């Protein structure tokens, strides 16, 4: 790994503006090669407590600054992230495996939340409410909630941190981040740049750890932490929500999805193929909004499968730092086992293998981009998120059937559909029980729109003008005797 600025490769955690080595370390590996690329501290409960104390100390001064002052500091951070986009992208590809082009894209996407919330810091408006008595006045102000904790996943090692921390810090809250153990380097590089941007000690802290239970236990049980924002598996999210109940901590959860991607007979087929490729195979299928079920209407079903196969067979697979490949390795062996079990199950129950289906000849955790047709709801891949490069294709007959199939899941994050019928666009958009719906589009993430799910896909929204609400409390002030 070659960096223009090698000081962005940090191998210490960041607490209270200090770089901490810790007693134990753990290795960070490159999933494309299995090579160890760094060691970072394996911190536990005691260091988490220290970070909370530091955040508590730092909070008062940060929240008292003017919004413009906080905004300017965040803006400097944004500019430093963008100025170091290439190095941050290389670090990300090295620890996460995604193609370099996708890493560059994620750095810009991650930075866009810092830019956006720097601007939003200045727009935390209150309200004056006509009072219930002539001698009274009612005022509503919005205040920072307090110390926020962010527990983040490995699939977007940069953007999942900025999407939580930028609004928290803009609102006036300190944050403590526990990045995923697979991808701590992207988080630490962000801390180095936050430090350079002048973000004060204690406001942005990174606890690297391979002991999520200990760190998560302290973050959730410590009453000084008033907010937890989590992105990850539904199972862990439910556990953390239960833990937060004990001190009635506010939670935001961005959990699993089971995204339907519906293609109606009247769709622009080429656009639908392009959208399906972007939605399904981006990050090797390892995003929570990746199409998990392709539902295709009977009239264009065969043609769709044929064209999708042509596109998938052109996908290039390889090591992201060695060439302009379109698909990298999966994050670890567990991910390979999961996709393999979904494929095996689908084929045993009558699915038709169109292409792929095997670990890739490159070895390691590389996996062939795969399509299985004639998938039915009894198969595992219809119910669970595969989180890998498998496109399972289902056939449906009517619009009602497609919407019912799409909604037949406990999840409700993102849904996609392709049609040229404007009335259907409204009917289906409104009929889908999802937090986000993309119509004739394969990618919907942007800092300007509210990202989040319904049902067991989560609570709360990130990005957009709504995203800062998660870090604010409303205070009603009644002034009498006037
Ligand atoms: P996945 O393994 O699919 O990424 P997880 O939900 O396990 O999903 O991981 C997301 C984040 O949650 C990671 O940072 C991980 O370390 C953290 N995590 C996992 N288990 C716990 C837990 N019990 N308490 C706190 N954090 C956890």
- What pLDDT digit, counting tens, does each position of 139-177 carry? 999 999 999 999 999 999 999 999 999 999 999 999 999
Q: Is residue 467 included in any domain, yes or no?
A: yes
266 lines ligand 1 (CB under 6 A): no
233 lines ligand 1 (CB under 6 A): yes
Q: Is residue 311 included in any domain, yes or no?
A: yes
The verdict on 248 and 274 lying in the same domain is: no
The verdict on 343 and 401 lying in the same domain is: yes
Question: What number does the ligand 1 atom closest to the CA of 181 have?
Answer: 16
212 lines ligand 1 (CB under 6 A): yes
Q: Is residue 214 included in any domain, yes or no?
A: yes
The verdict on 249 and 266 lying in the same domain is: no
What pLDDT was estimated at residue 1? 85
Q: Which of 47, 102, 254, 469 is catalytic?
A: 254
What pLDDT was estimated at residue 163? 98
Residue whose CA is closest, atom 18 of ligand 1? 212
The verdict on 200 and 213 lying in the same domain is: yes
What percent of the chain is predicted at pLDDT more than 70?
A: 100
Q: Is residue 367 included in any domain, yes or no?
A: yes
Q: Is residue 447 included in any domain, yes or no?
A: no
Per the structure, the complete domain to which residue 239 belongs is given by 6-255+457-477
The verdict on 279 and 388 lying in the same domain is: yes
Question: What number does the ligand 1 atom closest to the CA of 243 have?
Answer: 24
Calculate how far, in angstroms, residue 212's C-alpha sits from the geometric centre of ligand 1: 6
Q: Per the structure, how many domains does the chain have? A: 2
25 lines ligand 1 (CB under 6 A): no
The CATH number for 70's domain is 3.40.605.10
Cβ(39)–Cβ(12) under 8 Å? no
Calculate how far, in angstroms, residue 210's C-alpha sits from the geometric centre of ligand 1: 10
The verdict on 197 and 144 lying in the same domain is: yes
Calculate how far, in angstroms, residue 24's C-alpha sits from the geometric centre of ligand 1: 20
Q: Catalytic: 384?
A: no
Cβ(233)–Cβ(91) under 8 Å? no
What pLDDT was estimated at residue 369? 98
The Cα 331–Cα 216 span in angstroms is 22
151 lines ligand 1 (CB under 6 A): yes
Question: What number does the ligand 1 atom closest to the CA of 334 have?
Answer: 2
The verdict on 46 and 155 lying in the same domain is: yes
The Cα 479–Cα 138 span in angstroms is 6
**Neighbouring C-beta atoms of residue 340, cutoff 10 Å:** 17
Q: Is residue 446 included in any domain, yes or no?
A: no
The CATH number for 346's domain is 3.40.309.10
The verdict on 236 and 271 lying in the same domain is: no
Which residues of the chain have a pLDDT value below 70?
Answer: none
The verdict on 206 and 339 lying in the same domain is: no
Residue whose CA is closest, atom 17 of ligand 1? 212
The verdict on 224 and 276 lying in the same domain is: no
387 lines ligand 1 (CB under 6 A): no
The verdict on 470 and 414 lying in the same domain is: no
C-alpha closest to that of 6 among 77, 69, 64, 91:
91
Question: What token pair was written down for 250?
Answer: 């506010």
ipTM of the assembly?
A: 0.99
For 39, 155, 237, 417, the CA distances from 11, given in Å and listed in that order, are 6, 20, 28, 44
The verdict on 217 and 306 lying in the same domain is: no
Best probe residue, ligand 1, of 40, 206, 212 (max atoms within 8 Å of C-beta): 212
Buried b (16+ CB within 10 A) or exposed e, 324-338: ebbbbbbbeeebbeb
Question: What token pair was written down for 434?
Answer: 């999802």
Q: Is residue 450 included in any domain, yes or no?
A: no
SS (H, E, C) the chain: CCCCCHHHCCCCEEECCEEECCCCEEEEECCCCCCEEEEEECCCHHHHHHHHHHHHHHHHHHHHCCHHHHHHHHHHHHHHHHHCHHHHHHHHHHHHCCCHHHHHHHHHHHHHHHHHHHHHHHHCCCEEECCCCCCCEEEEEEEECCEEEEECCCCCCCHHHHHHHHHHHHHCCCEEEECCCCCHHHHHHHHHHHHHHCCCCCCEEECCCCCHHHHHHHHHHCCCEEEEEEECCHHHHHHHHHHHHCCCCEEEEECCCCEEEEECCCCCHHHHHHHHHHHHHHHHHCCCCCEEEEEEEHHHHHHHHHHHHHHHHCCCECCCCCCCCCECCCCCHHHHHHHHHHHHHHHHCCCEEEECCCECCCCCCCECCEEEECCCCCCHHHHCCCCCCEEEEEEECCHHHHHHHHHCCCCCCEEEEECCCHHHHHHHHHHCCCCEEEECCCCCCCCCCCECCCHHHEECCECCCCHHHHHEEEEEEEECCC
359 lines ligand 1 (CB under 6 A): no
pTM of the entire predicted model: 0.98
Q: Is residue 445 included in any domain, yes or no?
A: no
């Amino acid at each position: 790994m070659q960096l223009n600025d090698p000081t962005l490769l940090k191998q210490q955690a960041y607490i209270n503006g200090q770089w901490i080595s810790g007693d134990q370390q753990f290795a960070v590996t490159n999933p494309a090669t299995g090579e160890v690329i760094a060691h970072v501290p394996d911190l536990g409960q005691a260091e988490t407590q220290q970070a909370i104390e530091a955040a508590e100390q730092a909070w008062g001064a940060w929240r008292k600054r003017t919004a413009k002052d906080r905004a300017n500091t965040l803006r400097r951070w944004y500019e430093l992230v963008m100025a170091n986009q290439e190095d941050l992208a290389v670090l990300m590809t090295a620890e996460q495996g995604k193609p370099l082009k996708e890493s560059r894209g994620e750095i810009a996407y991650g930075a866009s939340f810092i830019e956006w919330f720097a601007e939003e810091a200045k727009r935390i408006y209150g309200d004056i409410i006509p009072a219930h008595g002539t001698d009274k006045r009612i005022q509503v102000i919005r205040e920072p909630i307090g110390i926020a904790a962010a527990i983040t996943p490995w699939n977007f090692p940069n953007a999942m941190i900025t999407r939580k921390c930028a609004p928290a810090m803009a609102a006036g809250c300190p944050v403590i981040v526990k990045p995923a153990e697979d991808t701590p380097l992207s988080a630490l590089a962000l801390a180095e740049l936050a430090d350079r941007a002048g973000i004060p000690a204690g406001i942005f802290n990174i606890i690297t750890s391979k002991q999520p239970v200990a760190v998560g236990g302290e973050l959730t049980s410590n009453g000084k932490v008033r907010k937890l924002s989590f992105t990850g598996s539904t199972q862990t999210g439910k556990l953390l929500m239960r833990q937060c109940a004990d001190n009635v901590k506010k939670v935001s959860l961005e959990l699993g999805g089971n995204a339907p991607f519906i293609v109606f007979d009247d769709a622009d087929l080429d656009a639908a193929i392009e959208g399906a490729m972007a939605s399904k195979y981006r990050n090797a299928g390892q995003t929570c909004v990746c199409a998990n079920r392709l539902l295709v209407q009977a009239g264009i079903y065969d043609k769709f499968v044929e064209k999708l196969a042509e596109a998938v067979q052109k996908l290039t697979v390889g090591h992201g730092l060695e060439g302009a490949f379109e698909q990298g390795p999966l994050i670890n062996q567990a991910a390979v086992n999961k996709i393999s079990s979904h494929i095996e199950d689908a084929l045993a129950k009558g699915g038709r293998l169109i292409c792929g289906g095997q670990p890739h000849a490159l070895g390691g955790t590389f996996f062939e981009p795969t399509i299985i047709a004639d998938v039915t709801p009894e198969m595992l891949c219809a119910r669970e998120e595969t989180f890998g490069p498998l496109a399972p294709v289902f056939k449906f007959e009517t619009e009602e059937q497609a919407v019912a199939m799409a909604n037949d899941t406990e999840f409700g994050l993102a849904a996609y559909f392709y049609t040229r019928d404007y009335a259907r666009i409204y009917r289906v958009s409104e009929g889908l029980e999802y937090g986000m719906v993309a119509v004739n589009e394969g990618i919907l993430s942007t800092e300007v729109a509210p990202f989040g799910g319904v049902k067991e896909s989560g609570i709360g929204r990130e990005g957009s003008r709504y995203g800062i609400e998660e870090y604010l409390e409303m205070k009603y002030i009644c002034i009498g005797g006037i």
